[in-house]
Structure 1
Amino acid sequence: MQVLDAVAVRRWADACVRSLDANRDDIDRINVFPVPDGDTGTNLSQTMRSAQDSLLRTRADSAGQALAALARGALAGARGNSGVILSQVLRGLAEAAQGASTAGGQAMRAALRRADELATAAVSRPVPGTVLTVLHAAAEAARDCPSDELDAVVTAAAGAGARALADTPRQLAVLAKAGVVDAGAKGLVVLLDALVAVITGQAVEPPPAAAPPRPPESLTTAREAGSAEYEYEVMYLLDGTPDAERLKRRLGALGDCVSVVGDGMGGWTVHVHCNDIGAAVEAGIAEGRPHRITVARFADQIAAQAPRFVRDRAVVVLVEGDGARELFRSEGAVVAGPTDDVADLLAVVVSTRARHVTLLPGDPDLREPLAEVVAQAAEAGQDVVVVPTFSPVQALSALAVHDPSRRAGDDVVAMAEAAAATRRGEVRVSEREAITWVGPCRPGDLLGMLDGEVLLIEPGPADVAALACRLVDRMLAGGGELVTVLLGEDAPDGLADEVEHHLRVTHPEVEMAAYPGGQPGAVLVVGVE
């Protein structure tokens, strides 16, 4: 489909309603910003249903008319801050398509740009890492798409939105601590994905079985945003020609989470959190005719959420190499790449949803960021312990003795002892000139390293297997029963077989286990226990 017409808009509205209904509980569950009230998915779903109802009651023969009907319905039925933002997204689409029977790729670019402008203007204090960030990324991707075809533009926008959604925990610490993405942003991505499905002709996946009906709404509600200082949410529609900025200032003096937004056709929605309900309504009377006034008292207790911890223990391993990651996953560990970004590390820890987390870093350079992760996790009520492991072979030794049936403290001690008892060696190619304990090395030389120090140097090109065997012999000089070998990405074919043959001849009492590790820049990583 290369143009969006009235029929396609109706199909998209239906797909949005079904997709938001299907994802409502998941979006509610990850709703932690600004406060964990668990109602963003519900608010988005109900706002979109109001938009669809308006479209179904309107005779719309063009894309512009259909989108305008959606915008009017969303504004009239907006629920919470997320619903207000959704109404402005739909208004932006409607304004860009105004008077047009169809909308193509160029029109979609303009529509997303206008939606970005209006949604940002609707929020008094925009924060990075929210739905506004994701909408902006989608609008920019549509603008920069090299093709003018509608399917290419919407696909680029949805893809950029999904990537921006994945980055929201890096922009908001509260999301990283909870191990979730932004709930409102997730809802927007659901809508963009539904648009891609309609435009490209791919069937929208049917939603899962409907959730049980919710109980009737009471006189209390959950707080979607704002300060706990204010007890009531006041919303109303406003007819007339209000001075929006003046009304915002007056409401801002009464409370927070103020929004005064229009549908571009003379309709306005007013939203504020405050304590003085009468003054909030009087402010609207001074600017026009308020109607459909709703007042809700925030619940004293946040609605019950899914339990934060779903298991008692988890082990997190930070390691490079596809083979090594798969090896640790097969042993039951949570695996992530090594990084010194505290937010990324914290997100991995929180995502385990485990009360006690043991971290096996595999890299001595991560001490400082991991100390910060431990401190932040402790503040949030999660117990995190770092076991000193400076190589993936030490992490393997620690994981091998992990026993979740033991007391957490005893288990950590056993893992630390196993790691400390494992000598770590490595064979790699030198990348630069340097002075080592055993003399100078040059780029291309083969280095044999033991516990982080260069022990052997062979001028390149050298016999990799011979140097690896010499290194293993030096490591076994102090004794050992098991040799573990991880083959790096630079390992030549047959290297493990040659080392194993050498051990059978020179150390027949020693067992050897070899795995494809794939560590970048390494030829071989070896551990001796």
Structure 2
Amino acid sequence: MTTPTMNQKIHADSKAMSKWLERMVKSLGNHSDRLNAINIFPVADGDTGSNLYLTARSAHDAVSKLETENIGELLAMASRAAMESARGNSGTLLGVFLAGVAEPLFGVERLTAPVLATALERGKVRAWSALSEPVSGTMLSVLDVVAKTARATNRTSGLEPASKAALVEMLDALCLAAEAAVVATENELGALHKAQIVDAGAVGMLIVLDELRGALLGHIIDPDEYSRLHGYDIQDPHIHDEVSNETGVEVMCTINLDALGAATLRGHLDSIGDSVIMSPVNSTEDGYRWRVHVHVPEADTALDMIRSLGSPVNVTVTDLCTHDG
């Protein structure tokens, strides 16, 4: 990590955040094949990299021509687009994370260390609460460690909280912590430990955070720095091919529900499937517009249940056993 100088130029406005989304798309695209190759959890379907890239691209495309100084407005619009067109577990959680980060940033025109710490905490809370059964050793662990690191750095730093130096200090600390959290995933999940690899979604989140730091500080991220992560070397085979694939389908949709309807649907989906993710996209007159994700043996069982509570749109059904990255 580079130590900031008094004259270091730092970009922390809405244009820098738009640049972050742009860099995120490019970097996830460049790394998608390797992320696909080590994707074995929760399903060895080899598409984590592709899902993150396509979801991030939707987020960036939605705001590429938006002119605003309001960072929260920019990220909220990006997150809605990401959630509406999210791909898979990882893409859905990326969209949810962005939505959480946006919430404390409405009206904010310049990012500071304290504001960033609050935004990362909110992003973590939204991501963890979206899953019915959150699992450590995944991208959630990275978000947890990063939020804690940001809080601790903000609390113990001797620098002026709103200063450029304090922001640089926090960005450096949280990216180092994120990398350590990725390394730790190998020993947090049995499947990863057996395969001797780190979690694909966790690496994806590390890339997202590295590009945040890069966009704000004007740094170029060396793609080779990820090659030391277990299983990530470019010469390694597609490890997910060696792991038994889960049968069944992934069902995703968007639906308007009130609080009772949302709780009812989550309970029903928990009873028939797994990898259940539900998160509000935006408010409506009668409740919220929800993004829904679930893995089930048969699509009709989930779709019939969903349709009994409302009219889903943006419905996708994907065979879990046929993903090829």
What range describes the TM-score normalised by the shorter chain of this pair? 0.7 to 0.9
1:57 Cα offset (Å): 5.3
Q: CA deviation at 1:227?
A: 9.0
Question: In structure 1, which of residues 21, 25, 34 is the aligned counterpart of residue 33 of structure 2?
Answer: 25
Which string of whole-angstrom CA distances, capped at 9 and with x for unpartnered residues, describes residues 451-492 of structure 1?
xxxxxxxxxxxxxxxxxxxxxxxxxxxxxxxxxxxxxxxxxx
Paired residues of 1:72 and 1:267 also in contact (CA < 8 A): no
Query: Would you tell me which structure has more strand in proportion to its own residues?
Result: 1
2:273 maps to which residue? 255
- C-alpha distance in structure 1 between counterparts of 2:324 and 2:176, whole Å: 33
Relative to the length of structure 1, the TM-score reads: 0.51
Compute the displacement of 1:240 (Å): 4.7
The aligned counterpart of 2:15 is 7
The alignment status of 1:47 with 2:69, answered yes or no, reads: no
CA contact (8 A) 1:67 1:90 kept: yes
| Higher RCO (Cα < 8 Å, 6 or more apart) | 2
Q: 2:73 aligns with which of 47, 56, 65?
A: 65
Assess if the C-alpha contact under 8 Å between 2:250 and 2:317 holds in 1.
Answer: yes
Please give the alpha-carbon distance, in whole angstroms, between the structure 2 residues aligned to 1:264 and 1:159: 33
Q: CA 1:173 to 1:202, structure 2 compared with 1: closer, same or farther past 3 Å?
A: same
| Identical aligned residues as a percent | 34
**Matched residue of 1:174: which SS?**
helix
Amino acid at match of 2:276: V
Which deviations, in whole Å up to 9, do the C-alpha atoms of 1:271-316 show, x marking residues without a partner?
Answer: 112244334234333444311111122336x749xxxxxxxxxxxx
Question: Per the alignment, do residues 299 and 167 of structure 1 end up closer, same or farther by CA in structure 2, a change over 3 Å counting?
Answer: closer
For 1:100, what is the secondary structure of its paired residue?
A: coil
Bigger Cα Rg: 1
Could you say what secondary structure the match of 2:110 adopts?
coil
Instruction: Give, in whole Å, the separation in 2 of the partners of 1:31 and 1:57.
Output: 33
The correspondence for 2:305, drawn from 249, 274, 283, is 283
CA RMSD in angstroms, aligned pairs only: 2.5
Q: Does 1:94 align with 2:102?
A: yes
Query: Structure 1 unaligned runs (5+)?
Result: 208-221, 305-529
- Partner letter of residue 299 of structure 2? I
Partner residue of 2:149 out of 137, 141, 153: 141
* The structure with more helix, counted as a fraction of residues: 2
Task: Work out whether residues 6 and 65 of structure 1, in 8 Å CA contact, stay in contact via their aligned partners in 2.
Answer: no
Large movers: runs of 4+ above 6 Å: none
In 2: Cα distance, 1:3 partner to 1:16 partner? 16
Contact 2:44 2:245 in 1 (8 A): no
Following superposition, the deviation at residue 58 of structure 1 comes to 4.0
- Displacement after TM superposition at 1:128 (Å): 2.1
1:41-190 alignment, distance < 5 Å? 41-56=49-64, 58-145=66-153, 146=157, 147=159, 148=161, 149-190=166-207
CA distance in 2, matches of 1:185, 1:303: 20
CA contact (8 A) 2:70 2:108 kept: yes
Q: 2 CA distance for matches of 1:76 and 1:57? A: 19
Corresponding residue for residue 384 of structure 1: none
Query: Structure 1 residues 259, 132: closer, same or farther in 2, change over 3 A?
Result: same
Change in Cα spacing, 1:96 to 1:40, as seen in structure 2 (3 Å) is same
Q: What is the aligned length? A: 286
